């Protein structure tokens, strides 16, 4: 007897980025500043402490985004994410002032399946 197995783990990809904010320095869709992940995407500095990473290969869905500040006394947060990019903001110790030229890590978990189970009939 055959049974159908459904799994939300199908077609999952993980992308890792290490960003040197001072090397991005106002760049638009550049590899500058991507110490890790330069083959997976491009980065744009929208303004001080505000970055968008655009994926070279868009996904169907973003499952999870995690950011972690490398620069001391700073915080990173995800402002927005889509199947083709993630927008990250880094702020200083006061939690409101944008931190220019900070460094941070990003991990993105993407799914190349359109829906949760990998087929349209689920």
Which CATH number does the domain housing residue 34 bear?
2.60.40
Condensed to tens digits (0 to 9), the pLDDT of residues 52-86 reads: 999 999 999 898 999 999 998 999 999 999 999 99
Q: Is residue 36 part of a domain?
A: yes
Which residues neighbour 112 within 8 Å (Cβ) at sequence distance 6 or greater?
11, 12, 13, 59, 60
Q: Is the pLDDT of residue 94 over 60?
A: yes
Q: What is the pLDDT of residue 122?
A: 43
Q: Is residue 103 part of a domain?
A: yes
- pLDDT, averaged across the chain: 88
Q: Is residue 117 part of a domain?
A: no
Condensed to tens digits (0 to 9), the pLDDT of residues 2-55 reads: 777 666 557 889 999 999 999 998 889 999 999 999 999 999 999 999 999 999
Distance (Å, rounded) from C-alpha 54 to C-alpha 114? 19
Residue pointed to by tokens 């402002």: 79
Helices and strands in the chain: count of H runs, count of E runs: 1, 8
Backbone angles phi, psi at 24, to 5 degrees: -70, -50
Q: Which range of residues forms the domain containing residue 78? A: 12-111
Instruction: Name the residue with higher pLDDT: 25 or 95.
Output: 95
Q: What pTM was computed for the model?
A: 0.85
Q: Is residue 4 part of a domain?
A: no
Condensed to tens digits (0 to 9), the pLDDT of residues 3-13 reads: 776 665 578 89
Q: Is residue 75 part of a domain?
A: yes
Q: Domain count for the chain, please give it.
A: 1
């Amino acid at each position: 007897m055959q049974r159908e197995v459904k799994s939300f783990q199908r077609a999952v990809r993980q992308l890792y980025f290490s960003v040197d904010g001072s090397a991005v320095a106002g760049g638009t869709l550049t590899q500058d500043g991507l110490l890790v992940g330069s083959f997976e995407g491009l980065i744009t500095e929208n303004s001080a402490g505000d970055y968008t990473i655009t994926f070279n290969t868009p996904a169907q869905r973003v499952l999870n985004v995690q950011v972690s500040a490398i620069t001391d006394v700073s915080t990173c947060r995800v402002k927005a994410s889509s199947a083709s990019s993630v927008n990250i903001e880094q702020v200083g110790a006061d939690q409101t002032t944008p931190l220019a030229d900070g460094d941070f890590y990003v991990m993105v978990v993407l799914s190349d399946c359109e829906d949760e189970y990998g087929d349209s009939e689920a």
